[in-house]
Amino acid sequence: MAQPYGLILILLIAPATSVRLQDGVATGAKQARKVPLTRTVKLPVIQLSSPNANEKQGNPAALEVWPGAEDELPEGPSGFDVFADGSFVIADPLSLRLVVYDAQGNFKRALPVGFAADSVTVTNEGMILAREANTDAVHPLDREGKPLEQAPKLSPMPEATLVRGENKGSISVGASPGLPAGTLAVRFDEKGSTMVSLQAIGTDSGLGMFVALEATVPEGGADGIDVRKMVQRYSPQGVLVAESAWIPLDYFVPPVDELRVRKGIVYQLMTTRTEVRVNEWDMNER
């Protein structure tokens, strides 16, 4: 995941210098690029049928999913992150391990950590921070899964504020080396749809800020809560330059690490009944 301390973001520090967004496009800027799903990497899953089942025997690449039951959510991979070379580390909590796949989804190695991890963060230095699901303890590991003495202190993601009912919001970014603190203006413009949340999900050196938006579904109709979700990329100057297509939200196992950003690519973890999908949207300039 791109780390906030790697931030090189030119922020808008005064109204006189701010970029004003109108209809989702910065004044004087070109139309934000719509980014369709770039590709999906599929990883194998074994759906367990009983606690004693040994269906995975002979296939270390397979991740385990328990389908749940009446009044119980399915359990399985909910955490992941991406290394600088595009390979993935996925938490496999039912097997008490992490599993590394290359960028094409080929099994590389299993890291038998001995605890159920529900969230994984890869630092810019390649260190793995695996969070133990039932204690919230964060375990620092090297790329081979060997425990490390100390975990680096990561800065939290910048805080966002939604202006309710106005389809806009802002993200406050603390000062980073050589840059002052400031506010990024975020706007969502689509008739019949209301933005209901926004979150900074990544900053990338030279690429700016990545923001996940949730919005109401026009005309609704579905029983219960229903939203759509997309990711916007803002340039270091605060200009909206790219928007992902609506991302699929048909989760079987609810993700803890839903979205990650690495080198301008947005990654989504989606565990289904039959496979783990890592969906990718390449938000880089063309």
Partner 1 sequence: MNSTFWVLGAVLLVGLCPAIGQNTAAIARLPQTTREEILARAKTFANHKWTCSAKNLHASCYANYRSDWKDGQVITGIPYNWGGFDSPASFDQKIAKGMAAGSHSRYGVLSCTAGIDCSGFVSYCWGIPLKSHTYTTSNMRDIGGELKSNWFTDLQPGDALDKPGSHVVLFTGYNPDGTFNICEAAGGPARVVCHKTTWSTHKGFIPLQYKGLY
Residues that bind partner 1 (CB under 8 A): 48, 50-52, 66, 68-73, 75, 78, 93, 116, 118, 133-135, 159-162, 164-165, 169, 194-199, 214, 216, 222-227, 229, 249, 251, 254-256, 258
Question: Which residue, 178 or 221, is less far from partner 1 as judged by CB?
Answer: 221
Question: Which residue, 114 or 206, is less far from partner 1 as judged by CB?
Answer: 114
Q: Residue 234 CB, nearest distance to partner 1 (Å)?
A: 16
- Return d(Cα 56, Cα 60) in angstroms, integer: 7
Q: 247 and 12 in contact (C-beta within 8 Å)?
A: no
What is the per-residue DSSP string for 194-261?
-EEEEEEEEEETTTEEEEEEEEEPTT--SSS--EEEEEEEE-TTS-EEEEEPPPP---SBPPSS-EEE
Count the residues in the chain.
Answer: 286
Q: Residue 262 CB, nearest distance to partner 1 (Å)?
A: 20
Q: Residue 211 CB, nearest distance to partner 1 (Å)?
A: 10
Look up residue 68 and give its two tokens: 């749940």
Q: 202 and 1 in contact (C-beta within 8 Å)?
A: yes
Question: Which residue, 16 or 225, is less far from partner 1 as judged by CB?
Answer: 225
Q: Residue 78 CB, nearest distance to partner 1 (Å)?
A: 6
Q: Residue 231 CB, nearest distance to partner 1 (Å)?
A: 12
Maximum Cα–Cα distance for the chain, whole Å? Answer: 66
Question: Which residue, 35 or 213, is less far from partner 1 as judged by CB?
Answer: 213
Environment class of residue 8 by beta-carbon count within 10 Å: exposed (0-12), middle (13-18) or buried (19+)?
middle
Q: 235 and 200 in contact (C-beta within 8 Å)?
A: no
Question: Which residue, 16 or 69, is less far from partner 1 as judged by CB?
Answer: 69
Q: Residue 72 CB, nearest distance to partner 1 (Å)?
A: 4
Question: Which residue, 123 or 194, is less far from partner 1 as judged by CB?
Answer: 194
